[in-house]
Structures are given as structure tokens and as C-alpha cells.
Amino acid sequence: MRSIVACPAKLRRVVNVSVLRLRDCFLVAVFLSTVLPSSSRAQSAPLFRIAYGVTGENPAALWIGIKQGFYRKHGLNVEAIFMRNGPLSMSAMVSGDVQMNFTSANNVLNAAAAGLDAVVVANVIAHGDGVFMARPEIQKPEDLKGKSVAIQSIGGGGWANNMLCLDYLNLDPERDKIQFIVLGDQPSRVQALESGRVQASWIGYTFSEPLKKKGYTAFVDLGRAPIPYMGSSLVTRRQFVRQDPKNIEGIIKGTLDAVRFIAKPENKTAVTQTIMSHLRLSRPEEAEASYRVIQNLYSNDLVPQAAGVKKIHQILSKANPNLRKMNPVEVIEDSLILRIHANGY
């Protein structure tokens, strides 16, 4: 197996907000060649690498699928590989370094608008999640005008969630002079909020609950707001769906098994322990919020919905003119998940 993978020429086509850069491909290749053990490559079952750039509890279905052996049940050896943001994990997928990506609809839309091959085969997070939090002195939406909002990356899932919240509050970053500051993962954004470096940010439930207890203002709970949504999803290349539908179907089934496992109350301890391990939480009660979140936000059938991707497309089009030229529904490839359900799985 190659230790360094050359970047395809079409990765040079970069959309202004997607940050799919050639240097990301190099970093992905070096990362994969150094952190993945050679013994993994020798597994008899097909090795599937799923990248994810999502921080927080959303990828729990992947962790549970691996931990509980649901992917092995379908003859697959799966590795879930964390990367620092969604655009980087998308770069890994379109370059062929990983077979799939667990990422938000906005990363898929940005990639497709840049002419890259990326489609949603199963939607795991069917509802918005997390809370748009502001410092205690920010009491009404108008107070955010001229202020700073922390994000993980430009064009990433966290950025889209911030945009959805601002749109819901009838705020426009350009009109209202709201500045986005890239600060990375959720703990970094929480620290920036507490220090006063920024005044607001979308934060996942695990990290927003402590802020609420400290008196920070919760403006929008995306899990409850009536906003059509398509969040973290299983994404791959359409070419790969045509070439290897059986194994892609196995990944979808294993993820569906994990979602069903998480939904059963008797599995709460196993789920919270897995969340604690991956999020490096020290106490079980710290994982309680995450456990409740994924139970409420996970799709029960993983079928992608057109209304959700259309709403994300509407938000992203404000910043990316290339998106206005495409039909957002084209990034949905639901033939496998529909066949799974048609066969009674």
C-alpha cells in the first residue's frame, strides 16, 4: 500500500469556502501513513476507512458500530479516522485516501459545486443539533451586531450551523457586521467565549450545557428549532457506489445497526462509556447530555431528505456563488438505503 498518495488534478479546483487545498491532500497522506498500523492493512476483511472532521458526540454511531462489531457482522473492518475539520476529511475522500466521509451536507455541497465527486448515501443526523450560545451580557439578537462569532473553519459544518442560527435570528453577518473568527474545535471556542475573545458561537450539547449553568445566553437550540436540516451523513464518491455497492451497503447497514443499538435504553451504559472514551470525559454524567442528544437527533431510517439539503444549500449560497448554479438534490444518492429498507432490513 502506498505511504504517500498523489493528489488528483481536479483537487486544484477550489471553491472559495470549501478550503479543499492540495496541501490538505499531502497532510492526509502523511497522516494516514504514520498513524495507521501496518497490521490493520493485513486484515482479511476489507478495510474501510471513514474520515470525520466532526467534534462532539455526532460520530457516536461510527464509534458504536466499531466497538460493538456491527461492521464486522457485515464482513468489514472499519477504521474511523478523526481529522481536524470537514474540508480536510472531504479532501481525504475525494483523493481516495479514505473510502467514506462522515460529514455535513454543506461540505458535500461545496465539494460538488467545485466539480468533485461526493454524494450522501445515508443521513445520520436528520435534525439540527447544538446551541447558539452567547456571553451573559448578550441578551437579545440585536446585541450581536458588530460582534465576533467563533467557528471551526470557513465552510465547515460548524460554520453552517452558525449561519443557520443567525438566519433564524434574522441576522446577516455582512449587513450586521458580524465577524467570524476561526478558532478550531469546540473546547477552543468555549475557551474563547469564556475569555471574551468572541461573543458567541454554535456549540454542541456536551459543551453548551456547562455554559448554560454559568449564565451564558442560549439563543437557538437547533435540535428544537423548526428548521429543515441535513447534518452529519455517510458520504462517498458516486463512482465508488457504482464500483462497490455491496460493501457500501454493508457500511450503511452497520451504521443502521449502531443507531438502533443507541436507541435502546438498556444500552445506555455501553453508549455513554464509548462517548466518554472518545470525548475524553472524566465522569459518566458528563456524557449524559451527549447520550440524550444523539437519541433525539439520529435518524431512525438514515434516508436523506431533500428539504434538509435544500435549506443548507440556501444558507451556503449566500457565501458561495457557485452553489447557485446547481440543484442541491443531486448530491443525494439514496438507492442503497432505499433498497435496504425495501428488503426489510
- Please provide the distance, in angstroms rounded to a whole number, between the alpha carbons at the two ends of the chain: 35
Average pLDDT, rounded, for the chain: 87
Please write the tens of the pLDDT for every residue from 105-131: 988 999 999 999 999 999 999 888 889
Decide: 89 and 52 in contact? Cβ < 8 Å.
yes
CA distance 184 to 193: 13
Per-residue pLDDT band for 232 (boundaries 50, 70, 90) equals: very high
User: 9-127+229-342 has which CATH code?
Assistant: 3.40.190.10
Q: What's the whole-number mean pLDDT along residues 217-222?
A: 95
Cell numbers at 8, concatenated: 488528483
In terms of pLDDT, which residue wins out, 216 or 223? 216
Q: In CATH terms, is domain 131-221 a member of 3.20.20.70?
A: no
Task: Supply the pLDDT for residue 153.
Answer: 82
261-298 burial: b if 16+ Cβ within 10 Å, else e: bbeeeebbeebbebbbebbebeeeebbbbbbebbbebb
- pTM here is 0.74
Per-residue pLDDT band for 256 (boundaries 50, 70, 90) equals: very high
175-196 burial: b if 16+ Cβ within 10 Å, else e: ebebebebbbbbeebbebbeee
Task: Supply the pLDDT for residue 4.
Answer: 34
pLDDT at 41 over 80: no
CA distance 314 to 104: 15
Please write the tens of the pLDDT for every residue from 265-276: 999 999 999 999
Task: Supply the pLDDT for residue 252.
Answer: 98
| Strand stretches in 173-304, DSSP E | 179-182, 200-203, 217-221, 233-236
In terms of pLDDT, which residue wins out, 6 or 289? 289
Task: Supply the pLDDT for residue 17.
Answer: 36
Hey, where are the domains in the chain? 9-127+229-342, 131-221
Give the bridge partners for 182, in sequence order. 151
Please write the tens of the pLDDT for every residue from 170-206: 999 999 999 999 998 889 999 999 999 999 999 988 8
Task: Supply the pLDDT for residue 175.
Answer: 95
Per-residue pLDDT band for 338 (boundaries 50, 70, 90) equals: very high
Please write the tens of the pLDDT for every residue from 75-105: 999 999 999 888 889 999 999 999 999 998 9
Q: What's the whole-number mean pLDDT along residues 156-166?
A: 86
Decide: 296 and 231 in contact? Cβ < 8 Å.
no
pLDDT at 293 over 90: no
76-98 burial: b if 16+ Cβ within 10 Å, else e: bbbbbbebbbbbbbbbbbbbbbb
| CA angle, residues 100, 157, 195, in degrees to nearest 5 | 135
In terms of pLDDT, which residue wins out, 24 or 192? 192
The neighbour count for residue 221, using CB atoms within 10 Å, is 15
| Nearest to 228, CA basis, from 167, 178, 185 | 167
Q: How far is CA 319 from CA 190, 314, 322, 323, in A?
A: 25, 10, 9, 9
Residue 324 CB partners (closer than 8 Å, separation 6+): 317
